[in-house]
Structure 1
Amino acid sequence: MTETRKAPTGILGFPTAPFNEQGNIDEQALAANIKFLIDSGLSSIFIACGSGEFHALNKAEYQTMLEVAVAVTNKKVPVYSGVGGSIAEAVELVRLSEDLGVDGYLILPPYLIEGEQEGLYNYYKTIVGSSDLNAILYQRDNAVLQLPTVKRLLDEYPQIVGIKDGHGNMELNLELTQTIGNRVEWLNGMPFAEITMPAYKGIGFNSYSSAISNYLPHVSRLYFDALRQGNDQLANEIYLDVLLPINYIRKQRKGYAVSLIKAGMNIMGFPVENSVRPPCVPVEQEHYQQLKNIIEETLEKYPAQQREVSNS
């Protein structure tokens, strides 16, 4: 990969879509969210993707979110948009993203239909071929590419710079990473990616999308640095103290992968209400209090001004 054809690495930022009391995008809250992620050292901003409730945005709201992201980042870090839906809609969003000045895009799974590999190849071919922007393919749900399809796309389109995995098939991941190597960047996109990162790190995944970075970025950074530096004791402590308890709450209700982020941000005092659009549901009071307790205990044991990770 050349410098211009390089996907973001490290901890990837996925802002939410904050809504005001009228149910519209709160641009100031979104700007604060993005600025916080950048100031916390995250390597990139992925706007209007899963955490940003791509599924629930109209085109005007989508455009607003991209415009805010491009303005706030001001080229400090790369900005990637989420695109998907029908082929026509995905191509339209790619072109809009290009016009607004984003650096690339993440292709979300197509709606409903589970296609054959040839159908998926043509879906991605049509989208990626519509622009010279950097593209990242997303393995999850009804869009899981096998090795021959991936190789075919990579041979034809140099603008594909990354593959994000949210499917969790480690046999397939090994087949892909060992065969394709560093032709692309490998991104862990599993729900609450910190939970699976110890396994993904060992097979060539050097990046992950972080949900808790929206409210506990220093913990995500401390954990990631511990993994990279081989500090297994600290990584395991954070895993048991913070990650597993939060993940337990996340699994209590469908859609909590999105709404629990907003709850955590709300607890930390960010201007984001505990509100999501259907079919997601807001975090229930019992679970909200459980998350609040975990965050308070985390901040006590792992304060924001945590010392640098060492192996001593």
Structure 2
Amino acid sequence: MTKIPGARTAPTGILGFPVAPMDQSGRLDVNAFEHNVKFLLQEGLSAIFVACGSGEFHALSHQDYRQMVETAVLVAQGKVPVYTGVGGNITHALELAKLSEGLGADGYLILPPYLIEAEQEGLYRYLNAIIGSTDMNAVVYQRDNCVLTLNTMQRLLDLPQLVGLKDGLGNMDLNIELTQTIGNRLTWLNGMPMAEVTMPAYVNLGFSGYSSAISNYIPHISRLFYEALLSGNQVLLSELYKHVILPINAIRRQRKGYAVALIKAGMQIVGHPVGTDVRPPIIPVESEHFQKLELIIKDAFDRFPRTGATPKEANTGA
């Protein structure tokens, strides 16, 4: 997708969220990160979201963040949109928004504010300041301590930069109220942990995209799932849930932080050079859970073979 000046649309479909690989000194492994982004592009994901939750936004240095954005923009070359994660304390969020704009990103995903349990007016002021600080497209991440009422969302609609809402809360009453009142003024994205689990409930509300953690290591399963969902192929959906999606989700729920660590474990299993180290307070996947994931992934490739390149070939571009 070529960037169109003034375009106000959020990406839809299967959204890629690369990880933040570490070198031995704990800094970003730029080569491994570039490899991750290239793989997602080769697999046909519709957008790249860097330095967000999967990219360990909470622990990145300013230099690591800059390198991730620069690398993603360079690799994508305008073929798909590149969004960045901004959030935390307001000063930092505004700095990262300006930095992302200067580096040529297409938009940003606004993560929750740091620590504070705010009133709706406070959340409005926080989001309004960030969204209005640049001309980039902005997507609000609804989760944790950033849960917006319909009235607050409607106030933010005055900002043309606001193009979407990503839901990581799972409050379906609120989702119905938002989507059925606001309609297609916003693009609705499913950001629940392992979004494949809940996407059937979301798609009927008008959600047209979701973040796929497993696309970092088994993207062909992400594609099979989404195609089966949109085409109503219930037989294939049931098989994917039974043998891949629900078993992986069961492991993910074993420990806090596995939403990130399990992605790196899966990537390590299929041969991506990202390592399994994660930044505190996230913990790496325990050996028992790693072995279970390994068996699930092997079974996934046996039951649902990839077409075209092997994982190794797709990784290297061979």
TM-score relative to the length of structure 2 = 0.94
Q: Summarize deviations over 1:258-310 as a string: whole Å, max 9, x none.
A: 0000000000000011100100000000000000000000000001118xxxx
- Asked if 1:70 is matched to 2:73, the reply is yes
Deviations 1:78-131 (A, max 9, x none): 000000011111111000000000000000000111101011000001111111
- Amino acid in structure 2 at the alignment position of 1:105: Y
The DSSP-based 3-state class of the residue aligned with 1:282 is coil
Q: Does 1:139 align with 2:125?
A: no
1:274 aligns with 2:259: no
Q: Distance in 2 between matches of 1:177 and 1:248?
A: 29
Q: How does 1:88-99 map to 2 (within 5 A)?
A: 88-99=91-102
1:152 aligns with 2:192: no
Q: Residues 183-223 of structure 1: CA distance to partner in whole angstroms, max 9, x if unpaired?
A: 01000000010010011111111100000000000000000
Q: Supply the distance in 2 between the matched residues of 1:67 and 1:84 (Cα, whole angstroms).
A: 19
C-alpha distance in 2 between matches for 1:123 and 1:233: 45
Question: Does 2:115 match 1:106?
Answer: no
Q: Give the equivalent residue in structure 2 for 1:12.
A: 15
Q: Which ranges of structure 1 fall in alignment gaps of 5 or more residues?
A: 307-312
Equivalent residue number for residue 82 of structure 1: 85
Q: Secondary structure at the match of 1:16?
A: coil
The aligned amino acid for 1:53 is E
- In the alignment, does 2:175 pair up with 1:173? yes
Aligned to 2:297: 295
Quote the Cα distance in structure 2 between the aligned partners of 1:239 and 1:90.
37
Please give the root-mean-square deviation of Cα atoms over the aligned residues, in Å. 1.0
Amino acid at match of 2:304: Y
Q: SS of 2:49's equivalent?
A: strand
Letter aligned with residue 50 of structure 1: G
Separation of aligned partners in 1, 2:71 and 2:16: 15
Alignment partner, residue 24 of structure 2 = 21
The aligned counterpart of 1:119 is 122
Distance 1:103 1:48 in 2: 14
Name the residue aligned to 2:311.
Answer: none
Map of 2:312 onto structure 1: none
User: Per-residue deviation at 1:159?
Assistant: 0.7
- Tell me what 2:188 maps to: 186
- 1:52 is aligned, of 51, 55, 77, to 55
Unmatched runs of 5 consecutive residues or more in structure 2: 309-318
Equivalent position SS for 1:84: strand
Which of 223, 226, 232 is the matching residue for 1:224? 226
Question: For 1:179 and 1:16, how far apart are their aligned partners in 2?
Answer: 35
Alignment-mate amino acid for residue 115 of structure 2: L
Pairwise CA distance, 1:133 = 0.4
CA-CA distance at 1:22 after TM superposition: 2.1
Q: Residues of 1 paired with 2:203 and 2:132: CA distance?
A: 31
Percent of residue pairs bearing the same amino acid type: 62
Q: Which residue does the alignment assign to 1:129?
A: 132
Name the residue aligned to 2:45.
42
Post-superposition shift, 1:7?
A: 0.2
Aligned partner of 1:244 in structure 2 is: 246
CA positional deviation for 1:20: 1.4
Partner SS, residue 108 of structure 1: strand
Q: TM-score, normalised by structure 1?
A: 0.96
